[in-house]
């Protein structure tokens, strides 16, 4: 069978999406200085989501070539040869795989975004953190409900999903299933987008950064639009595979949106981008650069005039740092900067840190990823809270 427009589009999306996942992992590797620093959501995205998405692309193309039981009521099934019938049974089974891979990718992306929002809100934004936890419960409930309905309610017996022909319209058009899926999917996305945008709008970030970050998260509107359009074409013209093209766009854009906030580190390294607006204070962001403050300047001056610092921390110093690193409220780290916050009291220079201190430092960064950055006490104008009242 000749290649369809879907084939070319699907592989273009695959290249773009895998490149975005790769950019996220490279960015996180640069951030933590070690692959061991990658967190659970990074592994989920890099292994599970990438595998499910690749399976979705491959199997959906195979499905279109094989055919299925998705034909209108007047179709002459008796005209099919036994070989054609067997091929369509195979294609109908592939459709089950396509549907499940699509669901797994979409809900995994939701989970990764919820983990990110939890890190952003767990320290200073209690109300938003509670809302994120409630939303996570709703997302899990929606997934479980949708899967139970798919496997146990909409099409019984289950073998009717791949019967040729099928006796139940719900077994090949999946209209009821897709309505339920779209309701859970779009409603959770709307709530998630609302939480993210109101946090950004209320924050004391400069306007330029707010616009950029709001744009990134607003790309989720395209994902929701694709979900609604796939449902529309499933209902209005179930037997033409336009809905599958919107499946592809929805699942691809969902992965891009879920990974884009994590790519700032690699963009900064490649294009030497430091800040959106270097003159403005930086309360919190996804990958902020170290703040340039009077405090840090004083620290550099004191290092130039004070006696040399020992080449390694003492055992007592390392023990104290380890105890502080284990407390959730200590050392709020700026993601993207692996240096400890320097106080006005003297601290060892980064160039003199040993490998032990760097490992301790990375543990602190891991435990406070995405936490709001603390404000240096040197100047009043720098002491800006993460979220404006």
**How many domains would you assign to the chain?**
2
The per-residue pLDDT for range 223-237, each reduced to its tens digit, is 999 999 999 999 998
71, 156: one domain: yes
Asked if the structure places residue 283 within a domain, the reply is no
**pLDDT in the model for residue 272:** 58
Enumerate residues 6+ apart whose C-beta is below 8 A from 69.
88, 89, 92, 162, 163, 164, 165, 166, 171, 172
Reply yes or no: is the peptide bond before residue 157 cis, omega within 30 of 0. yes
258, 357: one domain: no
Where on the phi/psi map is residue 353: left (φ > 0), alpha (ψ -120 to 50), or beta? beta
214, 318: one domain: no
242, 331: one domain: no
The per-residue pLDDT for range 342-359, each reduced to its tens digit, is 333 444 444 444 444 444
Q: Going residue by residue through the chain (389 aa), what tens digit of pLDDT does each one get?
A: 456 789 999 999 999 999 999 999 988 888 888 888 888 899 999 999 999 999 999 999 999 999 999 998 888 898 999 999 999 999 999 999 999 999 999 999 999 999 988 988 887 678 888 999 999 999 999 999 999 999 999 999 999 999 999 988 899 999 999 999 999 999 999 999 888 888 877 777 778 777 877 787 778 899 999 999 999 999 998 899 999 999 999 999 999 999 988 887 777 767 655 544 444 334 344 433 333 444 444 444 444 444 443 444 444 444 444 444 344 433 333 333 333 333 334 444 444 444 444 444 444 334 333 334 444 444 434 333 344 43
Asked if the structure places residue 230 within a domain, the reply is yes
Q: If we measure between CA atoms, which residue out of 107, 95, 132, 92 comes closest to residue 49?
A: 107
Q: If we measure between CA atoms, which residue out of 70, 61, 59 comes closest to residue 5?
A: 61
Asked if the structure places residue 208 within a domain, the reply is yes
Q: Which domain holds residue 117?
A: 5-268
316, 264: one domain: no
224, 109: one domain: yes
Asked if the structure places residue 18 within a domain, the reply is yes
Check: CB of residue 254 under 8 Å from CB of residue 13: no
229, 367: one domain: no
User: Phi then psi for 387, rounded to 5 degrees?
Assistant: -130, 130
339, 239: one domain: no
Enumerate residues 6+ apart whose C-beta is below 8 A from 264.
27, 285, 286, 287, 336
Counting beta carbons within 10 angstroms of the beta carbon of residue 95, is it exposed (0 to 12), middle (13 to 18) or buried (19 or more)? buried
54, 171: one domain: yes
For the chain, the first-to-last Cα distance in angstroms comes to: 62
CA pair distance 385, 284, nearest whole angstrom: 9
240, 178: one domain: yes
**pLDDT in the model for residue 338:** 32
**pLDDT in the model for residue 354:** 44
Asked if the structure places residue 82 within a domain, the reply is yes
Asked if the structure places residue 83 within a domain, the reply is yes
Asked if the structure places residue 287 within a domain, the reply is no
CA pair distance 82, 71, nearest whole angstrom: 17
249, 361: one domain: no
Enumerate residues 6+ apart whose C-beta is below 8 A from 53.
14, 17, 18, 101, 105, 251, 252, 255
Reply yes or no: is the peptide bond before residue 165 cis, omega within 30 of 0. yes
Asked if the structure places residue 365 within a domain, the reply is yes
Long-range CB pairs of 64-67, under 8 A, 24+ apart, other chains included: 64/4, 64/6, 64/7, 64/241, 64/244, 65/1, 65/91, 66/90, 66/91, 66/94, 67/91
User: Phi then psi for 203, rounded to 5 degrees?
Assistant: -70, 165
Rounded to two decimals, what is the model's pTM? 0.70
228, 320: one domain: no
């Amino acid at each position: 069978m000749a290649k369809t427009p879907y084939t070319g589009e699907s592989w273009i999306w695959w290249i773009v999406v895998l490149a975005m996942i790769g950019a996220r992992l490279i960015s996180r590797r640069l951030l933590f200085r070690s692959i061991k620093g990658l967190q659970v959501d990074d592994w989920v995205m890099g292994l599970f989501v990438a595998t499910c998405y690749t399976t979705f692309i491959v199997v959906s193309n195979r499905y279109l070539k094989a055919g299925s039981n998705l034909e209108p009521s007047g179709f002459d099934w008796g005209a099919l040869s036994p070989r054609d019938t067997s091929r369509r049974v195979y294609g109908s089974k592939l459709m089950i795989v396509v549907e499940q891979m699509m669901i797994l990718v979409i809900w995994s992306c939701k989970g990764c975004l919820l983990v990110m929002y939890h890190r952003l809100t767990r320290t200073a934004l209690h109300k938003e953190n509670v809302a994120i936890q409630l939303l996570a419960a709703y997302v899990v409930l929606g997934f479980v409900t949708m899967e139970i309905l798919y496997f146990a309610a909409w099409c019984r017996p289950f073998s009717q999903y791949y019967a040729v022909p099928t006796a139940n319209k719900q077994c090949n058009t999946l209209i009821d299933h897709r309505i339920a899926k779209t309701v859970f999917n779009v409603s959770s996305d709307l709530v998630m987008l609302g939480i993210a945008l109101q946090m950004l709008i209320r924050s004391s970030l400069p306007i330029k950064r707010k616009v950029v970050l709001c744009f990134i998260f607003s790309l989720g509107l395209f994902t929701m639009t694709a979900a609604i359009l796939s449902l529309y074409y499933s209902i209005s013209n179930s037997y033409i595979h336009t809905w599958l093209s919107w499946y592809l766009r929805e699942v691809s854009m969902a992965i891009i949106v879920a990974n884009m906030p994590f790519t700032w580190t690699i963009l900064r390294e490649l294009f030497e981008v430091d800040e959106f607006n270097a003159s403005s204070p930086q309360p919190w962001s996804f990958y902020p650069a170290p703040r340039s403050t009077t405090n840090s300047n004083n620290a550099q001056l004191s290092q130039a005039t004070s006696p040399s610092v020992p080449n390694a921390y003492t055992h007592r110093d390392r023990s104290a740092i380890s105890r502080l690193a284990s407390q959730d409220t200590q050392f709020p780290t700026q993601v993207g900067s692996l240096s400890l916050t320097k106080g006005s009291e003297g601290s060892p220079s980064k160039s003199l840190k040993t490998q032990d201190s760097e490992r301790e430092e990375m543990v602190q960064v891991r435990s406070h990823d995405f936490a709001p950055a603390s404000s240096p006490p040197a100047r009043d104008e720098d002491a800006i809270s993460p979220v404006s009242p």
